[in-house]
Amino acid sequence: MPTPPAAAPPAAASPAAPALPALPALPTSPSAPEVTLRALDTLWFQVGGTVCNLACRHCFISCSPTNHTHEMMRLGQVRAHLAEAAELGVKEIYFTGGEPFLNPEMEAILEAALAVAPATVLTNGLLLDAARCARLAALAAELRDGPSMDGTRIRELTGGDGVDVVLDVTPMAQQPIRDAIEAVRWGGTIVLAGLKGHKPIELVTDMLINKALTVKGAFSVDAAGYENAIKLIESGKFPLHKMQTHKYGLDDVEHAIKLLAGEVPGEEGIHVAVMPGR
């Protein structure tokens, strides 16, 4: 990890140098002037605090496995700052520590950051095992290829046929409905289960007719529906964990609700879980 350059040794005082005049005392004010932050280019997170798996002698803030002077940042904290930074037009994000990958939420943090701006992680690399590298590579691929729910992409993946059924469970967002019409096959079904805040939606309804689609609304599920869903999850047939985009503890409930309501700039959630004790 980079360390600040060492300070130059002080120059030897010349015995002939004249004494400097005393500086006038600076005026003090109980209310110091403030400059409003109007824009932000670069954002640094000391996401690992001062905790590191190493204890290098040259470390500029003496990080070590036992230095808890600064604790690790939580995902909720990072998200709040990312939202502020997105509004200020942040262009790049850096993560440092300590060792960022000691933070158990680092991958989720990185995913949240990459939704806002390009990110760099300063790491000693010792915690980058094969499994973690594979997950980071999958995240990079996902970002490169764009959202997996994009209608055109789904048609490409199905050889132009489209899928039998599309379920829209996304709160507030309207684009998933347009994507659903694009992604579903001729004669297929679209199930709408994501509330959109009673806002009107612009749709080309000719597509519903031309493709002979069935559109259904679903308010809730019965016991048999839960049973089938649990069986499907247990089967491991689909990577359903990817649909759970956010997890929060009770301290971050307000942020979780705002995210679901589409009120957090730069962030979109599919499924948000609040987990007491997290």
Q: Taking the complex as a whole, how short is the minimal distance between the CB of residue 98 and ligand SF4, in angstroms?
A: 5
Asked whether 46 and 73 are in contact (CB, 8 A), the reply is yes
Count residues binding ligand SF4 (CB under 6 A): 11
Residue 199 Cα to chain centre, angstroms: 26
Examine residue 1 and tell whether it contacts ligand SF4 (CB under 6 A). yes
183 CB burial (10 A radius; 0-12, 13-18, 19+):
buried
In the bound state with ligand SF4, the residue whose beta carbon lies nearer, of 52 and 117, is 52
Rule CB under 6 A: say whether 262 interacts with ligand SF4: no
CB of 63 or CB of 85, closer to ligand SF4:
63
Q: Which amino acid, one-letter code, is at 66?
A: T
149 binds ligand SF4 (CB under 6 A): no
- Does residue number 128 form part of the binding site for ligand SF4 (CB under 6 A)? no
Stretch that binds ligand SF4, among 7-15, 38-46, 53-61, 72-80 (CB under 6 A): 53-61
Phi, psi of 228 (to 5 degrees): -65, -40
Q: Which of 46, 124, 175, 189 binds ligand SF4 (CB under 6 A)?
A: 124
**Identity of the residue, 52 or 93, whose beta carbon is nearer to ligand SF4 in the bound complex:** 52
Work out how close the CB of 59 gets to ligand SF4 at its nearest, in angstroms, rounded to a whole number.
3
Q: Where do we find the tokens 């030897």?
A: 12
Shortest CB 40 distance to ligand SF4, Å: 25
Q: Is 98 in the site for ligand SF4 (CB under 6 A)?
A: yes
Least distance to ligand SF4, CB of residue 124, Å: 4
Q: Which of residues 54-83 bind ligand SF4 (CB under 6 A)?
A: 54-56, 59, 63
**Half-sphere exposure for 13 (CA within 13 Å, toward CB):** 5
Name the segment binding ligand SF4 (CB under 6 A); options: 49-57, 151-159, 162-170, 264-272: 49-57
Binding site for ligand SF4 (CB under 6 A): 1, 52, 54-56, 59, 63, 97-99, 124
